[in-house]
Amino acid sequence: MEILRNKPVALLLCLLMIACSCLVGAGTSLRQLRRQTEDVFLLGGDGSGIGISHDLRELAAQSYNLVVLARNYMPENDEAILAVLDRRVKLLDATTPKESFRAAQELTTAARLLAATLEAMDLNQQDRTLLQKTLVNLANTLGLLDANDYNPAAARFNRVLSEFPSNIFGPLTGVRPLELYE
């Protein structure tokens, strides 16, 4: 314990403890802020549970409704039907915002192609009405995805992470920027 009586050593130990405390505290705060921002993807900006994740599941459901309708008029193995089903699986399996965005774009393209094919067919009145309602719901869901709360929240987090002192503590504690939904 004689070493602790040496003022330079004691001062160095004190500074080391302060530096470690700053590192642990900053890392904890940045990880918590990142988690809160990631939750916006799942739960929405207001925490209601209606975030991008919900809207993507709704997009998958609306596209499946198109498939169900199409099966009444087209063969099961039609390329347009299979394309929607394949893109739907990719969307539901996506794990990152960027993957989700790409999969949603591909599913939307496939669903629009299937819808255009159905619109050109001689559907009975009930199915034509169902098709129009499904297309309206699909457009509404796409509008919600375009006006999401996640991208502004993720951009704010990334901006915080790029500013001092977070730009130093972030890399030291393993906190990385968030992907945007784009």
Tell me, yes or no, whether 81 and 139 share the same domain. yes
Question: Residue 138 belongs to what domain range?
Answer: 52-146
Same domain as 35, residue 118 = no
Do residues 60 and 104 both lie within one domain? yes
pTM given for the model: 0.84
CB 83 within 8 A of CB 114: yes
Q: Is residue 138 one of the residues assigned to a domain? A: yes
Six token digits for residue 71: 């099966």
* Domain identity same for 77 and 139: yes
Please state, in angstroms and rounded to a whole number, the distance separating the CA atoms of residues 180 and 158: 10
Is there a single domain that holds both residue 40 and residue 99? no
Q: What is the pLDDT of residue 1?
A: 58
Return all residues near 82 (Cβ < 8 A) that are at least 6 apart: none
113 and 81 in a common domain: yes
Question: For residues 157 and 159, what is the distance between their CA atoms, to the nearest angstrom?
Answer: 5
**What's the number of domains the chain is made of?**
2
Say whether both 81 and 134 belong to one domain: yes
Quick one: pLDDT at residue 49? 85
Same domain as 77, residue 8? no
Examine the domain organization and report whether 84 and 118 are in the same domain: yes
Are residues 83 and 29 both part of a single domain? Answer: no
Output the pLDDT for position 4. Answer: 63
Give, for all 182 residues of the chain, the pLDDT tens digit. 576 677 787 788 888 899 888 878 888 898 999 999 999 999 998 888 889 999 999 999 999 999 999 999 999 999 999 999 999 999 999 999 999 999 999 999 999 999 999 999 999 999 999 999 999 999 999 999 998 899 999 999 999 999 998 888 888 888 999 999 99
Residue 56 sits in the same domain as residue 128: yes
Do residues 30 and 18 make contact, with C-beta atoms less than 8 angstroms apart?
Answer: no
Q: What is the pLDDT of residue 172?
A: 81
Picking from 46, 60, 70, 67, the residue whose alpha carbon sits closest to that of residue 108 is: 60
